[in-house]
Amino acid sequence: MKKLLILGFLLLLAGCARDNDLEIRIMVPGGATAIAHIHVQGSEVYLGANVSYSVDVRQGRDPLVAAFTSQTHDIVIAPFDLGAQLYNLGSFNYQLAAIVTFGNLFLATVMEEEFTLESLEGRDIILFGQNSVPDIVVRTALEGITPNQIRYVNAAGDAQAELVLDNSNIVLLAEPSLSVAQRLVPGLQTIDLQEAFYQKTGHNYPQAGVFISNNLIDNHPEVVRKYLEAVRNSTVEVNKNPAEAARLAVELEFGFPEAVLVTAIPRSNIGFQTPQESMEDIVFLLNRILALNPALLSGRLPSEALYHVQK
């Protein structure tokens, strides 16, 4: 009888432990954003007793939208403008907790003369991301310059294909695709749009943000704190040792050769800032969106409730 009582007690404890387990699902888009997060994905970061996590890397915006709307993931790293857009549509159960990339966009072509913003006067340009942040960044950089025609393609891969097909095309690329293109197209020249945007505005622009569910923030604040610290550490390590980050990305089957990633990482503007640290740049970008495409934000700035404040 005594043995049965002890066994029952142990089973009860095991059941309680299972009840207290926390399994966190994280979604990250491929490319530079996944690289910023790579030491979280590639390591077993301790977030607390009985806390585990898994990372899903997905391509494109559609899986991110689905994760937000269906709330299948506790943490979604996504383009900042996508989170702001969905927040303003209502029923958005996430808060922005950090910015982890600050732009990886470049214009690229092969031409005999020097490739500068001024050389784009009267030229045809091929862009992706119509009416989204990449488009707004380019249009901001081109203020005072009148291209002949701007043609939009569906995705960054389509822009890269246009360049490979005809290297005189002027196309918008993002890292790591730019580093791939440089291997395929000899003599490629580039314009750094992050630098161009800053020169025109005096601001950086927030690209990808860490969005954490209200449920996780409200019920597990210490886990959230540890997770954000792990992400901060990941961005530091990526910048300190791009070769190690590239090696780990190949090991995790990110889809790019190691040599490409070693080149791409320093140009991906990976870092970590809280919303409060980035707020001036956030508000500036949101106001640019409202000026150029107000429908993207339903015609208004998001409220302060979008932004997580670490306690």
Give SS3 for 102: coil
pLDDT tens per residue across span 140-195: 999 999 999 999 998 888 899 999 999 999 999 999 999 999 999 999 999 999 99
Count CB-CB contacts under 10 A for residue 115.
18
Count CB-CB contacts under 10 A for residue 162.
18
Q: Please determine, for residue 291, whether its predicted confidence score (pLDDT) is greater than 70.
A: yes
Q: Please determine, for residue 131, whether its predicted confidence score (pLDDT) is greater than 90.
A: no
| pTM tops 0.85, yes or no | yes
Q: Tokens 């005096």 appear where?
A: 202
Q: Tokens 């009416």 appear where?
A: 131
Q: What is the CA radius of gyration of the chain?
A: 22
pLDDT tens per residue across span 16-68: 444 469 999 999 998 899 999 999 999 889 999 999 999 999 988 899 999 99
- Retrieve residue 87's tokens: 């927040």
Edge-to-edge strand list for the sheet holding 189-192? 149-153, 124-128, 171-174, 105-109, 189-192
Q: Tokens 């009148």 appear where?
A: 146
Long-range (24+ apart) CB contacts under 8 A made by 184-187 are 185/108, 185/110, 186/110, 187/110
- Backbone torsions φ then ψ of 294, nearest 5 degrees: -60, -25
Instruction: For residue 164, give every residue at least 6 positions away whose Cβ sits within 8 Å of its Cβ, in sequence order, or none.
Output: 181, 184, 185
Strands 94-101 and 208-213: antiparallel
Q: How far apart are CA 152 and CA 43, in angstroms?
A: 39
